[in-house]
Amino acid sequence: MRTSTRGFALLRFVWVGGLCVLLPLSAANAQKEGQRPPPETRKAQVMRPNTYKKILPCQEMLAEDKTNEALKCLQAIDVESLNGYETAVTYQMFGYAYSAQEKYDKAISFFEKAIATGQLSPGQTLDFQFNVAQMYRALEKLPESIRTFETWLQGAESPTGTQFYAISSTYYQAEKFGRSLELIEKALATRPDPEESWMNLAVALYIDKKAYKKAAPLLESMALRFPKASYWKQLAAVYSELKDDKGALVAQELAYKQGFLTSNTDLRRLAETYLFLEIPFKGAKLIETEIAAGRMEKSERNWELLADAWLQAREFDKSIQPLTEAAKLSSDGELFVRLAKVHIDGERWNDAIEAIDSGVKRGKLKSRGETHFLRGIALFNLGKLDTARKEFVRAQKFDDTRKKGSQWVKFIDTKKAADSAE
């Protein structure tokens, strides 16, 4: 990325009483607006006319981003013939030229030489310290950048939020999160409407510290001021960490209404939240709508979730189709067994037997005894007592169905005996 000299603390030449005075850009603007610049506690910064004539063309070249020409212009100046202040100005301009070419090592060297002359005003020194710190960071020399920033902070009277953010992000890059958080909080305090990037950094630091109560209001503000899917999703996740399930649901619903939830994962998470909060009907309608729209997959997990939603809503008949689809896609027969139980609850005995047979055929069942027991129930209700009894006898061979299988065998024997007595 090209760095223009406009990005740094540019200076401006101003003639005062026949002498050329170099003012910081802010002070020059103040003078232009008829205001007095802040007083400097040092001697006036002056440049002799002959030197000014040599340096002015170099500055004009820099202003036009002609950095190569500007460097040749500066290199033609005999630094040994300059006074201390003129030397400082020349070093500054070398620094600007090299920074514009992204040759930050050389730029830093010249800016530090300019500071070392002792000829700069306190304000100018601070400007260049901040610039040098930024260039160290661009070079990924984070310890040097942090050290220079801290020196700058010691002299800065009222840092701006942008400056606090720049320093905080450097500490964050260096994985010094504690100091980074201190500084970003100061940045946030400078304005009632902080920049999005400042808030983003603060949220990342709060979440890293598990300070979810502090992250939540920031994310609420970000989601409203800068509507993005990621902010709504983060807000929902933070609410979940705070055990605020209703808040998490509201965040997800608002994201959904704005079209931010479009992936299968996000939509499934919303549906699961509905079921968790016992709002199964909305969960079921959501899944049906999104499967039909193609945003949710026609997968075993999604069909089963839809079936669970309808079962939780006590809409048993509506659960049959998604449960059947899920069972067809499953690698084992367990969902067919679940389907058989739904059919039994609805007194669809033949459908129950068909589902059990499909489950046994698919295999990998957790309980073979359960399939015999359920088949026995269906056969009994179809009036096939002898066949049903055989299934209950088979169920007795398995630990989990031994007791209830035995009870049904006794019940059938008692019933048959009573029927014979009549």
Where exactly are the structural domains of the chain? 1-139, 158-209
CB 104 within 8 A of CB 138: yes
Bridge partners, 11 (sequence order): 24
| Structure confidence at residue 47 (pLDDT) | 86
Q: Which residue has the tokens 């059919």?
A: 343
Question: What are 91-148's pLDDT values in tens digits?
Answer: 999 999 999 999 999 999 999 999 999 998 899 899 999 999 999 999 999 999 999 9
Instruction: Count how many Cα atoms sit within 13 Å of the Cα of residue 106 in the half-sphere of its side chain.
Output: 12
| Structure confidence at residue 26 (pLDDT) | 39
Question: What are 272-292's pLDDT values in tens digits?
Answer: 999 999 999 999 999 999 999
Element (H, E) at 24: strand 19-24
The b-or-e profile of 396-422 (16+ CB within 10 A means b, else e) is bebeebeebbeebbeebeeeeeeeeee
Those residues with Cβ within 8 angstroms of residue 41's Cβ, 6 or more apart along the chain or in another chain: 122
Phi and psi, residue 24, nearest 5° = -60, 150
Q: Helices in 330-400 by DSSP H: which ranges?
A: 334-345, 349-362, 368-381, 385-395
Give the percent of the chain with pLDDT over 70: 89
| Structure confidence at residue 23 (pLDDT) | 42
pLDDT bin (cut points 50, 70, 90) of residue 420 is confident
| Structure confidence at residue 45 (pLDDT) | 59
Provide the mean pLDDT of the chain.
90
CB 272 within 8 A of CB 301: no
pLDDT greater than 60 at residue 316 = yes
Question: What are 180-236's pLDDT values in tens digits?
Answer: 999 999 999 999 999 999 999 999 999 999 999 999 999 999 999 999 999 999 999
pLDDT bin (cut points 50, 70, 90) of residue 418 is confident
| Structure confidence at residue 46 (pLDDT) | 79
pLDDT bin (cut points 50, 70, 90) of residue 22 is very low
300: nearest Cα among 274, 327, 319: 327
Question: What are 26-57's pLDDT values in tens digits?
Answer: 333 333 333 334 444 444 557 899 999 999 99
Distance (Å, rounded) from C-alpha 93 to C-alpha 101? Answer: 13
Lowest-confidence pick of 45-49, 170-174, 326-330, 358-362? 45-49
DSSP label at 359? H
Task: Output 36 or 269, whichever has higher pLDDT.
Answer: 269
| Structure confidence at residue 40 (pLDDT) | 46
pTM of the model: 0.79
Lowest-confidence pick of 105-109, 213-217, 379-383, 417-421? 417-421
CATH dotted code for 1-139: 1.25.40.10
